[in-house]
Structure 1
Amino acid sequence: MEQAASIGHQPINGIDVYYEYYPNKASEKTIVLIHGFLSSTFTYRHLIPLLKKDYQVLSIDLPPFGKSGKSHHYTYSYKNLAQTVIKLTEYFKLKKMTFIGHSMGGQIVLNILHMVPELADEAILVCTSSYLKRSKLPLILLSYIPYFHHIVKYWFARTGVKKNLQETLYNHDLINEDMINGYLQPFLQNEIFVALTRMIRHREDDLPPKVLNQIKTPCLLLWGDHDKSIPLHIGEKLNKDLTNSKLIVLKETGHAVPEERPTEIYQYIREWCQAP
């Protein structure tokens, strides 16, 4: 049975975190949704209505994205972002969780599974960013130049939301004004670019194979066969490096799987969560 949603902000780990929490007394299972780079809870807007009928759902805007805080003091490392997610689940006293991460969010999930393996019953990794190295030292040093965030903003403006969506979606017919405006909204203020500049400095390497080998949590990998951002061969390598994983390839699908295949994701979640 669905209950009234709790949607708002909570100070966690030294920063203001936006969340959407949908309780469900009929389910002991909580699905925790973590979005990717330059995204937000908005990316799960088609999936959440399906999930909240069967599960409790917690969707989080990772700082500095979406409606979460853009701090000049927060450390935007994967480890600290993972710690922030962990502390928010503790705030809600959640147990029996399934973590779902898309793109960069998948890398945050992997960090959580490595740091606190007992926290999740299973995980679903959707086109997860993997094997990326830290930014090059010259770029990190440049990020300390005053007003460097204007360069970051200029890069984003040149790339543009619509062009990014065309790169991440296989089916361009899905792109409309609501989608463009939804992804653009968090980037209309300068604070996000100051925070992204700090992320350039703080983001560490993705987890290496020797650490991935240690993760025993059952992981379902969902990948688009036309993913240009994180190609399928990355998913195949990740599937080999995780010792308890399964890879499913979605045909005629790009990187933005939650946009293109929410119903299919929902079905795979139900099957995976019920698997012994």
Structure 2
Amino acid sequence: MDQEVLSGYKRINNTNVYYEFYPNQVSDKTIVLLHGFLSSTFTYRHLISLLRKQYQVLSLDLPPFGKSSKTNSYVYSYKNIAETVIKVTESFELQKMIFIGHSMGGQIVLNILHMREELADKAILLCSSAYLKRAKIPLILTSYLPYFHRFVKFWFARNGVKKNLQEALFNHSIINEEMINGYMEPFLQDEIFVALTRMIRDREGDLPRKILKQIKTPCLLIWGEHDKSIPLKFGEKLKQDLSNSELIVLRETGHAIPEERPSEIFEYIKGFLETNPAAADH
């Protein structure tokens, strides 16, 4: 019989956060999954099917993405999103979690490690966003123009979901209708583009090196060799700045590694979680 999944919404920080919770009575480990920019829990569907058999899993749609609320009143800063994630985990009374973040989700994980290091047992960063600066002032000012969200929508439509997937994947043969529709669905309403406009203003830059060097949580970095969105050089730099980290490079793989390499990622995660944290601390 298939294990149960609890899905729904948590009202946190004046917004509705969509979650999928996969309880596992025999595991003492809870994995929290945070997706990347323009993505959702959907990106983890293959990995979830593997993880849930051995661990308890909580996957969130980070505001304003996926099924979570899209509002102009929420502050879409990394700090506030990280605080929102923390409050969701507290509502489930979770402790000593393993945080997994892909792309932008990795930067949210790093913010959580910086703010509340005691919450995390370990962390896994999949092609994590790092070293990005804040949006430039002219763009922020332009975002206040009436109907600016229509320009955001036009940009997204022009790029197209299929083209974005081709950029994110090394192996284009795995692109199918299910994948295209899954990534496109949250962008069929105008509200998401209003929220993305607000995010342009609210998003601060990625954590500076000074703060990264203070993070002591054991971190596993997994990168695609051919990542065009966040090239491997950023993973190598992150490994230097995170004192308790190791880097694994997946050959013939792009940015969307949960899509391309779920089985390999699962094996690396399992190995990482089964090692003694003290032994990894050099």
Q: Is this a same-fold pair by TM over 0.5?
A: yes
Correspondence for 2:280: none
User: In 2, are the aligned partners of 1:2 and 1:23 still within 8 Å (CA)?
Assistant: no
Percent identity, aligned pairs only?
Answer: 71
Tell me, in whole angstroms, the C-alpha distance in 2 between the residues paired with 1:3 and 1:165: 31
Correspondence for 1:241: 241
Correspondence for 1:260: 260
Tell me, in whole angstroms, the C-alpha distance in 2 between the residues paired with 1:138 and 1:45: 38
Q: Deviations over 1:162-210 (max 9, x none)?
A: 0000000000000011100000000000000000000000000100000
Q: Deviations over 1:3-31 (max 9, x none)?
A: 52111111112110000000001011000
RMSD: 1.0
Correspondence for 1:186: 186
Return structure 1 stretches of 4+ with deviation > 4 angstroms: none
Correspondence for 1:174: 174
User: In 2, are the aligned partners of 1:71 and 1:195 still within 8 Å (CA)?
Assistant: yes
User: In 1, are the aligned partners of 2:96 and 2:118 still within 8 Å (CA)?
Assistant: no
How high is the TM-score relative to the length of structure 1? Answer: 0.99
Q: Secondary structure at the match of 1:196?
A: helix
Correspondence for 1:208: 208
Correspondence for 2:122: 122
Q: Deviations over 1:43-72 (max 9, x none)?
A: 001010110010000000000000000012
Instruction: Give yes or no for the alignment of 1:269 onto 2:266.
Output: no
User: Which stretch of structure 1 is more off in the superposition, 190-199 or 7-16?
Assistant: 7-16
Q: Deviations over 1:219-263 (max 9, x none)?
A: 000000000000000000000000100000000000000000000
- Stretches of structure 1 lacking an aligned partner (at least 5 in a row): none
User: Which stretch of structure 1 is more off in the superposition, 3-12 or 136-145?
Assistant: 3-12
Q: Secondary structure at the match of 2:192?
A: helix
- Stretches of structure 2 lacking an aligned partner (at least 5 in a row): 277-282
Tell me, in whole angstroms, the C-alpha distance in 2 between the residues paired with 1:4 and 1:255: 30
Correspondence for 2:47: 47
Tell me, in whole angstroms, the C-alpha distance in 2 between the residues paired with 1:95 and 1:273: 16
TM-superposed CA distance for 1:128, in Å, is: 0.4
Tell me, in whole angstroms, the C-alpha distance in 2 between the residues paired with 1:43 and 1:214: 30
Tell me, in whole angstroms, the C-alpha distance in 2 between the residues paired with 1:91 and 1:156: 34
User: Counterpart amino acid of 2:64?
Assistant: P
Tell me, in whole angstroms, the C-alpha distance in 2 between the residues paired with 1:223 and 1:92: 30
